[in-house]
C-alpha cells in the first residue's frame, strides 16, 4: 500500500524542487534525496517515459498529500466527464478540503491543513467535517471553529503563507470565512513548479 510522505522537506527533496515554493525549503541546501543513500545516483542518464510519468505522479501525490488509490479514483471520476480532461482532473484535486485550506491561507502547509480537518476544527456550511478526502462543491462556505480563530498556530500560519489567494476562492480574513467559488482550470492554479499534469494522467 502506498504511503503519504508527512514531511514537507522530504517531499521536496525527493522531487528535487521546492514543491510549494518555500524559500526556506531544505531542498535549496541539500541537493540530494533524503536517506542514507540519498547522494547516490542523482546524476543519471536520460529518464525513460515511464520514469518521467512515475516521478510526476509522486510529485502530485506529495503536493496534494493523497494516496495513489485516491489519485487514481479522482482520475477515473474526471476522465468520464465532458470538457477538458486536464481541467476536470485539476479542478477536482483543488476541491479537496485540505488543499482549499492552504489556498485560503487558513493553513500554512497541507500537513497542518489535514490536522485541522482530522481534529474536527473545520466547518463546511456550518457542519463539522473531519474527513480529509472530502470534496467541496461550488459555493461551499468553509470556516474554522471559534476556539481556533484565536489560536497563535493558525494566525501565524496565515502570516507565513506566501502564496496569493486564487480567484476561485473568496476569503474574509476577519471572520475566517472562505467560499469555494468554482472548480478551477489548470491555468488558475498557483503552482510553485511545473506539475506535469499530462504525465500524471498518463501514469494512471
Cell numbers placing 30: 541539500
Higher-scoring residue by pLDDT: 72, 175 = 72
Distance, CA of 25 to chain centre = 16
pLDDT confidence of residue 28:
47
Quick check: pTM over 0.85? no
pLDDT confidence of residue 79:
93
Average pLDDT over residues 157-179: 82
pLDDT confidence of residue 69:
96
pLDDT for residue 60 is more than 50? yes
3-state secondary structure of 150: coil
H helix or E strand, kind and range, residue 50: helix 49-64
pLDDT confidence of residue 105:
87
Strands laid side by side in the 177-180 sheet: 127-128, 122-124, 140-144, 177-180, 169-172
Where exactly are the structural domains of the chain? Answer: 8-91+191-202, 96-182
Sign of torsion over alpha carbons 65, 70, 74, 75: positive
pLDDT confidence of residue 155:
74
CATH 3.10.290.10 for the 96-182 domain, yes or no: yes
Please give the Cα distance from 78 to 80 (Å, whole number).
5
Higher-scoring residue by pLDDT: 50, 71 = 71
182-197 pLDDT per residue, tens = 999 999 999 877 889 9
Nearest alpha carbon to residue 176 among 146, 153, 138, 133: 146
Q: Tell me what the pLDDT averaged over the chain comes to.
A: 83
pLDDT for residue 1 is more than 50? no
Task: Find out whether 92 and 138 touch, Cβ atoms under 8 Å.
Answer: no
Instruction: Categorize the per-residue pLDDT at 163 as very low, low, confident or very high, splitting at 50, 70 and 90.
Output: low
H helix or E strand, kind and range, residue 141: strand 140-144
pLDDT confidence of residue 175:
84
Average pLDDT over residues 106-131: 94
Please state the length of the chain: 204
Third-level CATH fold of 8-91+191-202: Ribosomal Protein S4 Delta 41; Chain A, domain 1 (1.10.1050)
Cell numbers placing 202: 498518463
Please give the Cα distance from 15 to 182 (Å, whole number).
29
9-43 pLDDT per residue, tens = 566 556 666 565 565 555 445 555 555 545 554 44
Nearest alpha carbon to residue 201 among 68, 95, 72, 10: 72
Q: Which of 24-33, 43-52, 115-124 has the lowest mean pLDDT?
A: 24-33
Nearest alpha carbon to residue 183 among 158, 166, 195: 166
Q: Could you say which DSSP state residue 125 is in?
A: T
Amino acid at each position: 500500500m502506498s504511503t503519504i510522505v508527512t514531511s514537507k522537506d522530504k517531499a521536496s527533496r525527493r522531487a528535487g524542487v521546492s514543491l510549494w515554493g518555500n524559500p526556506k525549503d531544505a531542498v535549496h541546501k541539500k541537493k540530494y534525496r533524503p536517506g542514507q543513500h540519498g547522494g547516490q545516483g542523482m546524476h543519471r542518464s536520460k529518464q525513460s517515459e515511464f520514469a518521467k510519468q512515475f516521478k510526476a505522479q509522486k510529485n502530485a501525490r506529495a503536493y496534494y498529500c493523497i494516496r495513489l488509490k485516491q489519485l487514481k479514483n479522482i482520475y477515473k471520476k474526471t476522465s468520464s466527464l465532458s470538457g477538458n480532461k486536464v481541467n476536470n482532473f485539476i479542478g477536482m484535486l483543488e476541491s479537496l478540503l485540505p488543499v482549499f485550506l492552504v489556498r485560503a491561507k487558513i493553513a500554512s502547509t497541507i500537513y497542518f491543513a489535514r490536522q485541522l480537518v482530522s481534529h474536527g476544527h473545520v466547518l463546511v456550511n456550518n457542519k463539522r467535517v473531519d474527513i480529509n478526502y472530502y470534496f467541496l462543491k461550488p459555493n461551499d462556505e468553509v470556516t474554522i471553529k471559534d476556539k481556533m480563530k484565536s489560536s497563535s498556530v493558525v494566525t501565524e500560519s496565515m502570516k507565513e503563507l506566501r502564496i496569493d489567494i486564487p480567484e476561485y476562492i473568496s476569503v474574509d480574513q476577519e471572520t475566517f470565512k472562505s467560499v469555494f467559488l468554482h472548480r478551477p482550470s489548470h491555468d488558475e492554479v498557483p503552482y510553485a513548479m511545473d506539475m506535469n499534469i499530462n504525465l500524471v494522467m498518463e501514469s494512471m
